[in-house]
Amino acid sequence: MSVCRWVTILVLMVFLPLSAAAAVRRAEIVLGMSTALSGPASQLGLRMRAGVELGLRQANSAGGVHGVPLRLICYDDGYEPGRVDDNIHTLIKHDHVLAIIGNVGTPTAVVTLPIIEAARVPFVAPFTGAGLLRKNPPDRYVINYRASYKQELDAMIDALCDHGGLRPDQIAFFTQRDGYGDAGYAAGVDALCRHGLSRESNVVHVRYERNTLAVENALADMLLAQNDIRAVIMVGAYAPCARFIRLARQYAFTPLFFNVSFVGSEMLQQQLGSAADGVLVTQVVPLLAQHRVPVVREYMAALHRFTPADKANYVGLEGYIAVKMLLKALEQLDPATMDREQVITAFEQLGTFDIGIGKPLYLDARHHQASNHVWVTRLGKGGVEPFCWQQIATMLRESKCR
């Protein structure tokens, strides 16, 4: 055998293993999302996607995860469950995403859940507080950031009864006719029972159809009720909730209106215009006015650097926080070998951790919801403003005098 041939063999023996190692090195970390990019709830999906992409751009500018960049693939489902199945299967089987992050809505989560469980794909920080994603013990592949709808409803009803002195039958519900609305209503009734509700039939409950503005019949039913309704808790999307409030005020029906975080504070404010004053919205992320909170300060700085035309908003902040939480898990792993099971295990090993929301977060094998914190805001002429629950009594007196 010639000397040249021996040299060639030796070169191949040395460099082929290096080439193979380079070939298996992960070029990027691909994440997936199915959300409402069109339809009446599109602003929720667009803002959640923008918040997630902002977090990813910031991470990539700092080197990604151990030098590997992250990328989001997002498909439109219009907030319709019938469009989610194809999107999730495409993300898993065609796009080979490592995890799905930030999907918007409860009715869409109903379709997503069995698919991700069968495929064993992490479902991270969905934009819903529904109980079906908060089982005990938890579903292995579901990792929540936000407080539940139950926790939001508990905060509202505790304030109305304890600070406002209302009876349970003075609190009514306007909800979306699907799993989202039903989850909120069930949580609300449970909270009212703690405050002495004896029969569910004593509570006025009206509904509207998802992705419509058909709220007139619901309002008529509430106006015809014999109850002395002093507060209405709304579990819906921003456009129909805004229409209900505007129509109610045209008919001189002026209870306090409460909305859960899913409504999207800024969109509700925009839809209501001058009718927004006094509407309350619970939040599951720190208040944007709290600039001393590290994650708010970082979010504002990232907006200014990467997307200066975008305005800060609560949905976008939640998407940004979702990425920070995911990065906390991924940074524990080797990008060259990480897989979906390792991602879940990394989340479960975080225990108590801090991503700058001003309060501790916690995840382990028995706790798959990182945050239990609820804040509250009031819509006013100056925008979305911080609010203190102790002011409820004053607001109730003012609403009765209108």
> Residue 171 gets which letter from DSSP?
E
Q: How confident is the model at residue 33 (pLDDT cuts 50, 70, 90)?
A: very high
What pLDDT is attached to residue 398? 82
- Please report how the helices 265-272 and 238-250 are oriented relative to each other, as an axis angle in degrees rounded to 10: 40
This prediction's pTM: 0.91
Whole-number Å distance between alpha carbons of 31 and 257:
37
* Percent of the chain clearing pLDDT 70 (strictly above): 93
Spatial distance between the Cα atoms of 64 and 354, rounded to a whole number of angstroms? 19
Which residue is listed with tokens 């063999």? 9
Pairing of strands 29-35, 99-101: parallel
Q: Is the pLDDT of residue 269 over 60?
A: yes
Q: What is the pLDDT of residues 162-217, one digit of tens each?
A: 999 999 999 999 999 999 999 999 999 999 999 999 999 999 999 999 999 999 99
**pLDDT of the residue at 18:** 39
In the chain the domains, ranked by start, together with CATH numbers, are 29-146+289-371 (3.40.50.2300), 150-283+377-400 (3.40.50.2300)
- Euclidean distance between CA atoms 296 and 386, whole angstroms: 14
Q: Which residue has the tokens 């579903």?
A: 139
What number is the average pLDDT over the span 392-399?
89
Q: Which helix (H) or strand (E) holds 289?
A: none
d(CA 75, CA 35): 6
Helices (H), 120-206: 149-158, 179-194
